[in-house]
């Protein structure tokens, strides 16, 4: 499994530019980024990249991932089909925080056409810095996973 400072990321063409900016932001903060693609703004099928990231989190290769597409909806739908994946589509700080505190989300999903880079950086940092509360929430997560 990757370290806590190791994250897998993926996006489609609609969020390619934002993925690159977030990747730079995280690299500057000492994170090791595995880029699952895409590598350009040329049109691609978001499903392929969602499966790569969610699969790597599901099988334990990475403890955290970040997915981006135009709205984040498609990536959320793909990722949450994988066992042990709890992908959270967030566009506000409170949701990013609560997705970790109550849901122990392990994939952050962002809409590249919905959030700008400054907000995206804040969402990513909040999500990474917020621990899971455990307790009664752990039972709920275990119910999802079984």
pLDDT of 1 over the 80 cut: no
pLDDT of 146 over the 90 cut: no
Cβ 68 vs Cβ 18: under 8 Å: yes
Contacts of 124 (CB under 8 A, 6+ apart): 22, 25, 26, 66, 108, 110
Quickly state the pLDDT bin for 2 (edges 50, 70, 90): low
| Domain layout of the chain by residue ranges | 6-145
Q: What's the whole-number average pLDDT of the chain?
A: 96
Q: Average pLDDT of 78-104? A: 97
For the domain with range 6-145, which CATH number is right: 1.10.150.120, 3.40.1400.10, 3.40.50.150, 3.40.50.720? 3.40.1400.10
Residue 3 is predicted with a pLDDT of: 63
Percentage with pLDDT > 70 across the chain:
98
Model pLDDT for residues 106-122, shown as the tens digit of each residue:
999 999 999 999 999 99
* Residues labelled as active-site residues: 69, 102
**CA–CA gap between residue 24 and residue 18 (Å, rounded):** 10
Model pLDDT for residues 25-76, shown as the tens digit of each residue:
999 999 999 999 999 999 999 999 999 999 999 999 999 999 999 999 999 9
pLDDT of 145 over the 80 cut: no
**CA–CA gap between residue 46 and residue 136 (Å, rounded):** 35
């Amino acid at each position: 499994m990757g370290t806590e400072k190791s994250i897998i990321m993926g996006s489609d063409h609609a969020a390619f530019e934002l993925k690159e900016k977030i990747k730079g932001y995280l690299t500057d903060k000492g994170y090791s980024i595995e880029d699952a693609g895409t590598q350009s703004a040329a049109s691609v099928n978001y499903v392929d990249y969602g499966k790569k990231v969610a699969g790597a989190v599901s099988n334990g290769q990475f403890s955290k991932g970040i997915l981006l597409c135009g709205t984040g909806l498609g990536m959320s739908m793909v990722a949450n089909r994988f066992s042990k994946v709890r992908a959270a589509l967030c566009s506000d700080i409170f949701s990013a925080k609560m997705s970790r505190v109550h849901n122990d989300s392990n994939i952050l999903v962002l809409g590249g056409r919905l959030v700008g880079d400054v907000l995206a950086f804040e969402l990513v940092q909040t999500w990474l810095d917020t621990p899971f509360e455990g307790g009664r929430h752990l039972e709920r997560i275990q119910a999802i996973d079984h």
